[in-house]
Amino acid sequence: MGSGGRYEAYEVDLWGRLAALLPSAEDSENFRDCRETGQQEAGLWILLQRLLEHRVPISDRTRAEIEMLAEQWGERLARHDEIIACVRDSDEEGSIRLLPDDRSTPVDPAQAGMRDSILTGLLVVPWLECLRCARVLARVHAQEPWGDLRYLASHYVVWHHTAPDDEHEIFDDHDLHSAFELLLSCE
């Protein structure tokens, strides 16, 4: 199965797991229907509103997966605060987590030990972290003339942020799932 087929299977499974978190059968059905009808953005809104309203606890990994899904559908900025506001499942053993905003400061790739010419002039924003191997999945953004980061990432990179000169792997903007798979590969 190619990476597109793997991603499709993963996304179907993820939407099913997320639907199971919702407090009512009607909410679950509405959430799944959004994916089936190509309204993923509305589905993410429904999911987060219900998780927050009903204070449904979610694991750090689920929070990271929702954030990744929101990124995939162009909703990360709109949904980020809601995602981090979800109640944390205190029984969960952490394997992957969304980095706190204070650890997600954009850095020059050269400062992070990445000297690839494809990253020149861009900024690396640490984003998701594997707690087992300390690898980080980062978004790579261009900077707008007025100083803000461009809305959509131009690349993704996975690297050991604690050992910046270590190897890293760069993924194109359309290959977020492969970057996420690599982050999870130590499990």
pLDDT at 187 over 80: no
Q: Bridge partners of 149?
A: 143
Residues with Cβ < 8 Å from 105, sequence gap 6 or more? 125, 126
Q: Which domain holds residue 55?
A: 3-93
Residues with Cβ < 8 Å from 132, sequence gap 6 or more? 95, 186, 187
The three-class DSSP label of residue 170 is: strand
Contact 119, 140 (CB under 8 A): yes
For range 147-154, the mean pLDDT: 90
Record the pTM: 0.89
Quick one: 36 and 63 in the same domain?
yes
pLDDT at 1 over 50: no
Quick one: 115 and 156 in the same domain?
yes
Quick one: 81 and 69 in the same domain?
yes
Quick one: 84 and 110 in the same domain?
no
As for how many domains the chain has, the answer is: 2
Among residues 93, 122, 151, which one ends one of the domains? 93
Quick one: 44 and 117 in the same domain?
no
What confidence tens digit (pLDDT) does each residue in 158-179 have? 988 666 556 789 999 999 999 9
Quick one: 89 and 10 in the same domain?
yes
Contact 179, 158 (CB under 8 A): yes
